[in-house]
A = this chain, B = another copy of it.
Amino acid sequence: MRAAVAGASGYAGGELLRLLLSHPAIEIGALTAGASAGTALAEHQPHLLQLADRVLAETTPETLAGHDVVFLALPHGQSHALAERLGGDTVVVDCGADFRLADAGAWERFYGGAHPGTWPYGLPELPGARKTLRGARRIAVPGCYPTAATLALMPAFAAGLAMPDVVVVAASGTSGAGRAPKTNLLASEVIGSASAYNAGGVHRHTPEMEQNLSAVAGAPVSVSFTPMLVPMSRGILATCTASAAPGVTAESLRETYETAVKDEPFLHLLPEGRWPATSMTLGANTAVLQVALDASAGRIVAVVAIDNLTKGTAGGAIQSANLALGLPEELGLPLIGVAP
């Protein structure tokens, strides 16, 4: 099978290519870009040595035609128009936000403009998601923070152990903010500094977390979400807490999580007493989890580490694409990361 990558000059595009280069069933076809069309991929992705000779085509329906799967790693808002002109048989996997939110009101508040609708949501670990994704022709890849927070609290909500007052505080590396040069993302600004941003309930990933957890809980869940930038290029470490439902014990909580991860290829629950570090997942499609009951504060504390570019974007995209293409879900996806 052949894949095209639109937005190959950015970080998500580069990570898709890194993973596809070792995918045994997908070969790399067209590589396209917007402003960078006509330049060598090597200028943007110098680490992809095997693709050093490739030149970026322009992102158009024509350049993307004729592939079994098209990955869109485009700026917000560009997927909609493009996808309409891609064949209905092609698997189109959108790494952007355009088709994630079902609630038109939330879309308008957080993104603005007309609500583009939804595509099947590419988080296979969600209840029922694999069935939808198998054979799907359009897939909306989740946001990186919602991937983290959903995986962390999904077992608790699915088992009725958590109350709907979720607080998520997540530290992210800078690659999540993309490759467009901005002063606040300069190394000089970021190195040696941790900073909060989009705090106070205004980050666009908030309604997506609420959507996912509410669906799992079967009732509205509210999320207070604070993201922060820390001096690393990759990784999200999310601390996700919710009040414990009456009667929850440390043992029932542990058991619930052990059961939840047992058959999941990309979820790993640490032994008790050990807590996740993003270095456990660098370049891997794995989410590393731990959970504890803070009995004194009455809260469930779940912590998750993922690589925002792998499980949080490109790896998650390929995982869902594998399902859509009828391939084994784990195919071509690294389970372990590079450390130290």
Binding site for B on A (CB under 8 A): 11, 14, 18, 21-22, 42, 45-50, 52, 165, 167, 169, 171, 173-175, 177, 179, 181-183, 185-197, 199-201, 206, 222-224, 226, 228, 230-235, 237, 239, 241, 243, 268, 270-271, 274-284, 286, 288, 290, 292-299, 301, 303, 305, 334-340
Contact = CB atoms under 8 A, between A and B. Distances in A.
B230 A171 contact: yes
Contact of A189 (B271, B293, B340): B340
A186 B185 contact: yes
Nearest to A235: B194
A46 B194 contact: no
A326 to B, nearest CB: 24
Contacts of A167: 167, 169, 241, 297, 299
A304 to B, nearest CB: 9
Nearest to A44: B183
A234 B50 contact: no
Nearest to A51: B336
Given A224-B297, A230-B230, 13 more contacts: A46-B280, A47-B279, A47-B338, A49-B335, A167-B299, A179-B188, A196-B239, A199-B239, A200-B293, A201-B295, A201-B296, A224-B301, A234-B338
Contacts of A187: 174, 185-187, 189-191, 231, 233
Contacts of A339: 14, 18, 45-47, 193
Contacts of A232: 191-194, 230-231
B197 A226 contact: no
A192 B192 contact: yes
A52 to B, nearest CB: 8
Contacts of A194: 171, 173, 230, 232, 235, 237, 277-278, 305
A179 B181 CA distance: 11
Given A183-B179, A193-B277, A200-B301, A188 B174 contact: yes
A336 B234 contact: no
Contacts of A305: 194-195
B201 A226 contact: no
